Amino acid sequence: MEKGNQKMIKNQNELLSFARSENTRIRREILLNLYESALVAVNPLNIIQNNIVITHDQNELQIFEKSVKIRNRKIWIIGGGKAVGHMAQALEEILQNCELSGIVIVPKGVKSQLKLKNIECLESEHPIPSFKNVENTEALLEVIKKIKKEDLVLALISGGGSALLTAPIDTISWNDFQRFNLLLITNKMTIQQINIIRKHISNIKGGRLATYCKSNEILVLVISDVIGDDLTSIASGPFYPDPSTFKDAKQILQEFNLWENSTPFSIKEHIQKGIKSLVKETPKPYDPIFKNITHFILASNKIACNFVIDEANRLGIRYKFLTNQLEGNFKDMVEYLFKEFTEFLSKGENSCLFISGGEPTIEVTGKGIGGRNQEVAALMLLKFKEFRGKFCFLSAGTDGIDGNSPYAGAIVDTDSLIILEQSGLIIENYQLNNDLTTFFSVLGGSLIKTGPTGTNVMDIHFCWIEKS
């Protein structure tokens, strides 16, 4: 993604200069450029401008095949997530001749990138919500209360919305809520499992935000950050019916041995009341509040991967697309990927670019700095130690943020192994403390820096392998 002539990868020259040969530099450049092209594909500004138009007579708004009347009608733009700020900016440009108002909630540091005139923008903490998140969500709810039945609502939802849109149940203490959120995201749960629990301790998740909005027409524009583009889970589905139950939430916590001793009392008490039908369940698919709500998925990991495939074809690069639904424990994911790489060469092939996407899980037990993409790259580096051939591997998040580090991910290759052996660094020591940012900082030439990209469609993984 570019802003003017500025590329998103801020340290590409540094990453390329790390290469010890021209071939290594070329491989690195190809993978970094493909990562950049994936970001372009899911840039919210591009996505909105390519899929949403106003008819010449300024009478209708068209989203894909759907048309809605906008003349003499007030339009509200509301929402929360890592990508909604840029989505809102693109919509302001398209709807500049309309009566427009609204509010969006974005991560800290994003507001300064935006040029919003009619839409209020509030910044909240991510991934662990602060009380500021609660105050900002209350401000959003106050705006929603002003919406009339005849008004059109464009609700913007993207990854990160689960934390940015925070409205805990009144009987749950704030300390319990914040501590519990940290517990959830540092475990091995999938995002779907985490969000089932989140939906049952929130006043707005799991379709509940829809209950606050009186409009007869709500169009929900979504940038997906979950496997299979599951609308029940993206930002915890604030406008989407929730098929899960309080019982499901308890079972997940029990499955991960968190129910008895780790779940705070106020949260356990609320979930138990829900199971006994003493508090209201999340709204289900048959609820009439959803009859006037339509969802549109504008960007996803699949779209990013498809764009990379198009780029590979354009450049004449031989590639193999594996999947855009990688999930589960990151160690299992690395085993799967490495097996695919080596089996391909064992069939007599000379070289290939592998493309995949998804979002693995890691259990954070240490106190270091890092993220899942750096964990994946470090483990892959160890796997390639005995590999008889050359390789270049990249793993990075499309949001530009990897865990608690300021980097998007990492790129490693054959030269990284040479430096590793010469340095005497022991990766395993850093892995034990989840401190891969420190490891790669010492190793050099690995950490990819973009800063927040303004989008979020999970992670991208590329690997170039060839026989020696």
Model pLDDT, residue 192: 94
Per-residue pLDDT of the chain (468 residues; tens, 9 = 90+): 344 446 899 999 999 999 999 999 999 999 999 999 999 999 999 999 999 999 988 899 999 999 999 999 999 999 999 999 999 999 999 999 999 999 999 999 899 999 999 999 999 999 899 999 999 999 999 999 999 999 999 999 999 999 999 999 999 999 999 999 999 998 889 999 999 999 999 999 999 999 999 999 999 999 999 999 999 999 999 999 999 999 999 999 999 999 999 999 999 999 999 999 999 999 999 999 999 999 999 999 999 999 999 999 999 999 999 999 999 999 999 999 999 999 998 888 889 999 999 999 998 999 999 999 999 999 999 999 988 889 999 999 999 999 999 999 999 999 999 999 999 999 999 999 999 999 999 999 999 999 989 899 999 999 999 987
Model pLDDT, residue 468: 73
Q: Give φ, ψ of 385 to 5 degrees.
A: -60, -40
Model pLDDT, residue 5: 47
Element (H, E) at 31: helix 22-41
Model pLDDT, residue 1: 37
Model pLDDT, residue 4: 40
320 Cβ contact partners less than 8 Å away, ≥ 6 residues apart = 340, 344, 352, 353, 354, 355
Model pLDDT, residue 236: 98
Model pLDDT, residue 422: 95
- CA–CA gap between residue 361 and residue 185 (Å, rounded): 9
Q: Among residues 434, 364, 57, 447, which one has the least CA distance to residue 182?
A: 364
- CA–CA gap between residue 83 and residue 454 (Å, rounded): 5
- CA–CA gap between residue 334 and residue 122 (Å, rounded): 38
Q: Give φ, ψ of 175 to 5 degrees.
A: -60, -40
239 Cβ contact partners less than 8 Å away, ≥ 6 residues apart = 155, 157, 207, 209, 210, 218, 220, 290, 293, 295
Q: Among residues 172, 168, 171, which one has the least CA distance to residue 129?
A: 168
Domain boundaries, the chain: 2-42+315-466, 47-167+202-244+282-299
From the CB of residue 32, how many other CB atoms can be counted at a distance below 10 Å?
22
In CATH terms, the superfamily for domain 47-167+202-244+282-299 is Glycerate kinase, MOFRL-like N-terminal domain (3.40.50.10180)
Q: Among residues 285, 310, 278, which one has the least CA distance to residue 37?
A: 310
Question: Quick one: fold of 2-42+315-466?
Answer: glycerate kinase, domain 1 (3.40.1480)
Beta bridge partner(s), residue 185: none
- CA–CA gap between residue 231 and residue 247 (Å, rounded): 20
Residue 348 · residue 305 · CB < 8 Å: no
Which residue, chain included where needed, has tokens 């059109």?
A: 152
- CA–CA gap between residue 139 and residue 28 (Å, rounded): 46
- Cα–Cα separations (whole angstroms), residue 102 to 43, 159, 438: 22, 20, 42
Amino acid at 104: V
172 Cβ contact partners less than 8 Å away, ≥ 6 residues apart = 201, 264, 266, 267, 270
Structure tokens at 310: 């198009």
Given this chain, do its domains 2-42+315-466 and 47-167+202-244+282-299 carry the same CATH topology? Answer: no
Which residue, chain included where needed, has tokens 């690195």?
A: 28
Element (H, E) at 436: helix 436-443
- Please, how many CA atoms are within 13 Å of residue 164, restricted to the half-sphere of its CB? 29
